[in-house]
A and B are shown apart, each in its own frame.
Chain A
Amino acid sequence: MTAAPRPSASTRVADLPIVFMSFDEPWAELGWQDLKAKAPHAKRVHGVAGLDACHKAAARAAEGEWFISVDADTIIDPAFLDVRIPRQLLNRNFRLQWHCRNKTNGLVSGNGSLKLWPTVLANKMRTHEAAPDTKVSIDHEIDQIVPGQSMGVQMPGCYSVTNPAQTPYHAFRSGFREGVLLGHLLIRQISLNGQDSPQTEYLMGLLRIWCSLGRQAENGLWLIYGARLGLRLTQERPDWDLRNVNSYAWLWDFWRMRVHPRFVAGGAQRGGDNGWSEYHLAAECRLLKDWINAALPVGITDYSAEESALLVESGLFSPRRPGALIDALGYRFVKGAGAGRDIKFAREAFETASVLGNAAAFNNLARLHETEEIEGASRDEAERLYRVATELGSRYAPYHLAQLWSADATNSRARKTEIARLLKLARKRGFDPGGAADK
């Protein structure tokens, strides 16, 4: 009898279907040719209205279980094709994503990113224009496709550059959609966690870049204007229907009838030689900046083209909080929700996140030692890791460390005092094991 072949430990990106998605971008053909030269097996969908429909069309074109989506604005680094995806992550519940660098403002983020979709997940989602009327959906919201199962997974590395500012309209559209999305998320985050939380600061950091940098690029000012206008709309007009940004037809009309005419000859502002007045656009940008800075502690700034180039080209922007995302992935593999249980994989994720100072990752590693689920598990190491997690501010670690110590019947008086202190600390940090679910 022949043994069944062992499943491969990883899959090379080049061995997966790749689909290029374009709509109305005048440069799309060049992008498509570039991708074809690097990945001859790539396919293309063009002109499908609506982001939900467009991804479903890509899933059909891929004719397989998975597909990698490449936006028309995005140029891939050929090294991406050699990236290997661990077996554990090639999972029908996971949508994988690699950060992308924005050529206009230097930001490294999910905007324009390369994504690996399980076809089944793409077909199951109902977002953007396909969301129920009662729901505001302006993002893919992967976690909500199959609650408790599906998950967006941030992958290491940045293998693409997006350049959406190739015409004034497309630059404006890109900035405006992002300003609306981030502004909407900001309102939600402030109401959930307040203005000083790390999550809020993370969003502010993204907005700061979208609304400040890019002046050195052709059409970069339109991108900044769009981001500022989108952000202001979300803050000033809570009744405004955010879903407008899902419709490229609405965006085109908005641009054609309301935005562009303000800056061309005969419009509300006087036009220049290039059909629109950069002077007046910059002036409106300043007004938007003043309004936003008065309303929010984002601290956006006007840089000259030279100053913007200095910052954008420094290459010194990095994703801000990857530790939390890596820890969350590891936790999925501990719980097995939507992923299957894989403690070895989880441990590696926690160890990676702990290098980045993530308190939850130290706590989760400690749990693996305490429950003796990993090779070389030791109580001493569990104790050490709980202490580190406690110092770093974990809400759970003080409780777990107290429990670990409480199991010892020979505790000294000093140890009992310390246990009481830890339990009090856990409560102060919001973890009351009597009421909350354990983690």
Chain B
Amino acid sequence: MTALKDYPRIHLATGAASTSAGQAPRIDPQDADGLRRAAAKQRGKWIAIVDEGVRLWPEALNQSPEPELLGADTSIGYLSRVEMNGFANRAGLRLCRRARLAKTGTLPAAELHIPKFVGHWSSDATPKNAFKAGVSRTGTFMQDPAPAGPSLRDLALWGSLGADLRNGVWWLLGVNAALLDPGRVEEVRREADAFKGHGDGLVRLLHEIAREVRLERSIPVRPLTAALSRSARQLLSPWPAPRYWTEFVERCQRLGPDGTKLAADYRRAVDYLWGPLDG
């Protein structure tokens, strides 16, 4: 048994050039040599890769992956929670076979996401970061492969929360621009740039874009004030939405008898959270 905190870790960070002694290495995800070297320096069968923008929760690292999953020929990952709106995000933590990474320097995608959170994900260092992240994550969220993808209600909430966080209004502008029309993202960005340093103008623009999203896309977004956003996130379930459980259970069942047993355990557990899964 190994708790997640006890696995050697690599943090992915675009543009990272060096590692700090005594801390988990930070490596650019494109730097195959760096990944190879970092993996070779560690010990053990597995290495934990922490995606860019993910801040791990110490208490979440006390959990341990089930032996059935480590025994299967698959790569497993844990979800993170988008800090701005509380939704699940596939960027998180994945366990990779260390020897393979030390040999190839290539990061495998997680094939099986355990429906549990390991931390928060955000990208809010600058207004530009937050806007870009809002656009790109909205695309990812809308195309998420989990069964019964996001509903209009999910998208509405996704486009309404986050104003309380650093550069949160910029994030929401990116989200709402992407919800409105990916072809108009650049136009919205230029308009927003004109309001840099003028918070009220930026908020007015956000509400104008949100109004267009409601009218043109029939998505009932309603960007909340900072105070309301903060309190609304507290109300949401601490667990990933049912579709991530459905996906996990389905994939687990393909892993042979051990996977089937685990799938049954997860199916019973989710029944208490969200009710019976379809199928």
Q: Which residues of A contact B275 (CB under 8 A)?
A: 156-159
Given contacts A307-B222, A316-B241, contact A352 B265 (CB under 8 A): yes
Most buried by B among A213, A299, A318, A385: A318
A-contact 0/1 string along B227-251, CB 8 Å cutoff: 1100110111111010000000000
Q: Give Cα A79 to B238, complex, Å.
A: 26
Q: Which residues of A contact B67 (CB under 8 A)?
A: 384
Would you call A315 and B235 a contact (CB within 8 A)? no
User: Which residues between 249 and 303 of chain A lie within 8 Å of chain B, taking CB atoms?
Assistant: 299-301, 303
* Stretch in B22-30, B93-101, B153-161, B172-180 touching the partner: B153-161
Q: Give Cα A173 to B200, complex, Å.
A: 41
Selected contact of A393 from candidates B62, B236, B266, CB within 8 Å: B62
Q: Give Cα A154 to B268, complex, Å.
A: 13
Judged by DSSP, the binding face of B is helix
Given contacts A157-B276, A388-B64, contact A356 B235 (CB under 8 A): no
B-contact 0/1 string along A155-186, CB 8 Å cutoff: 01111000000000000000000000000000
* Stretch in A319-327, A333-341, A419-427 touching the partner: A319-327
Check if B224 is an interface residue, CB within 8 A of chain A: yes
Check if B108 is an interface residue, CB within 8 A of chain A: no
Would you call A156 and B268 a contact (CB within 8 A)? yes
Given contacts A310-B156, A310-B220, contact A317 B236 (CB under 8 A): yes
Q: Which residues of A contact B274 (CB under 8 A)?
A: 318
Would you call B269 and A307 a contact (CB within 8 A)? no
Would you call A311 and B271 a contact (CB within 8 A)? no
Closest A residue to B239 using CB positions? A318
Most buried by A among B116, B237, B266: B237
Would you call B232 and A156 a contact (CB within 8 A)? no
Would you call A355 and B64 a contact (CB within 8 A)? no
Would you call A303 and B228 a contact (CB within 8 A)? yes
User: Which residues between 52 and 70 of chain B lie within 8 Å of chain A, taking CB atoms?
Assistant: 62-64, 67
A-contact 0/1 string along B202-238, CB 8 Å cutoff: 0000000000000000001010100110011011111
Q: Which residues of B contact A385 (CB under 8 A)?
A: 1
Q: Which residues of A contact B266 (CB under 8 A)?
A: 355
Interface size class of B (residues with CB under 8 A): 35 or more
Q: How far is the CB of A408 from chain B (nearest CB, A)?
A: 18
Q: Give Cα A353 to B273, complex, Å.
A: 11
Q: Which residues of B contact A356 (CB under 8 A)?
A: 269, 272-273
Check if B3 is an interface residue, CB within 8 A of chain A: yes
Would you call A391 and B3 a contact (CB within 8 A)? yes
Closest A residue to B6 using CB positions? A391
Given contacts A310-B156, A318-B274, A319-B272, contact A392 B63 (CB under 8 A): yes
User: Which residues between 44 and 84 of chain A lie within 8 Å of chain B, taking CB atoms?
Assistant: none
Q: How far is the CB of A16 from chain B (nearest CB, A)?
A: 19
Q: Which residues of A contact B227 (CB under 8 A)?
A: 301
Would you call B156 and A388 a contact (CB within 8 A)? no
Q: How far is the CB of B246 from chain A (nearest CB, A)?
A: 15
Closest A residue to B245 using CB positions? A355
Most buried by A among B67, B269, B276: B269
Q: How far is the CB of A109 from chain B (nearest CB, A)?
A: 13
Check if A140 is an interface residue, CB within 8 A of chain B: no
Would you call A315 and B269 a contact (CB within 8 A)? no
Q: Give Cα A383 to B236, complex, Å.
A: 35
Would you call B265 and A317 a contact (CB within 8 A)? no
Q: How far is the CB of A237 from chain B (nearest CB, A)?
A: 26
Q: How far is the CB of B190 from chain A (nearest CB, A)?
A: 29
Closest A residue to B116 using CB positions? A357
Would you call A310 and B265 a contact (CB within 8 A)? no
Would you call A316 and B220 a contact (CB within 8 A)? no
Would you call B157 and A310 a contact (CB within 8 A)? yes
Check if A129 is an interface residue, CB within 8 A of chain B: no
Q: Give Cα A351 to B265, complex, Å.
A: 6
Would you call B237 and A301 a contact (CB within 8 A)? no
Given contacts A307-B228, A388-B3, contact A318 B237 (CB under 8 A): yes
Would you call B265 and A213 a contact (CB within 8 A)? no
Would you call A299 and B234 a contact (CB within 8 A)? yes
Selected contact of A299 from candidates B62, B86, B160, B231, CB within 8 Å: B231
Starting from the known contacts A157-B271, A314-B156, 8 additional A-B residue pairs (CB-CB under 8 Å) come to: A212-B235, A306-B220, A307-B232, A315-B153, A316-B237, A387-B64, A388-B64, A391-B64
18 A–B contacts from the bound complex (CB under 8 Å): A156-B268, A158-B275, A205-B234, A213-B235, A300-B231, A301-B232, A306-B220, A306-B222, A307-B232, A311-B235, A313-B153, A314-B157, A316-B157, A352-B268, A354-B265, A355-B268, A391-B3, A393-B62
